[in-house]
């Protein structure tokens, strides 16, 4: 969803995301307001399928939507989102590995 640039996510796109996620796990929780940071669903043996969000994209959402600087957005995400446990269906937030090209 984040590939759409500066265009706001529409209600229809949010509904499509919810439907798609529910097809994988009807009980999976989604992080409201972070649709542009949603990257998919993840699973592992014997565990429920969970929604996955990109941490860097989530920080970008906070910076754009709420006018925060990077440090403020990172702290807000860590405290209010990453630090929030809503049970076993709590979404995952992924920090992507970046290769050192040197």
How do residues 69-97 score in pLDDT, each as one tens digit? Answer: 999 999 999 999 999 999 999 999 999 99
How do residues 15-61 score in pLDDT, each as one tens digit? Answer: 999 999 999 999 999 999 999 999 999 999 999 999 999 999 999 99
What pLDDT, on a 0 to 100 scale, did the predictor assign at position 3? 45
Q: What CA dihedral angle connects 7, 12, 18 and 23, to 10 degrees?
A: -120
The band of 2, judged by pLDDT with boundaries at 50, 70 and 90, is: very low
H or E stretch including 91?
none
H or E stretch including 11?
helix 11-24
- The model's pTM is 0.88
């Amino acid at each position: 969803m984040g590939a759409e640039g500066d265009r706001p996510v529409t209600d229809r796109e949010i509904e499509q995301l919810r439907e798609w996620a529910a097809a994988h796990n009807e009980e999976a929780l989604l992080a409201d307001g972070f649709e542009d940071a949603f990257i998919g669903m993840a699973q592992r043996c014997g565990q429920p399928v969970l929604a996955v969000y990109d941490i860097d994209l989530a920080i970008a959402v906070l910076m754009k939507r709420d006018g925060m600087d990077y440090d403020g957005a990172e702290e807000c995400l860590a405290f209010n989102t990453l630090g929030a446990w809503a049970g076993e269906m709590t979404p995952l937030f992924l920090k992507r590995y970046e290769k050192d090209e040197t």
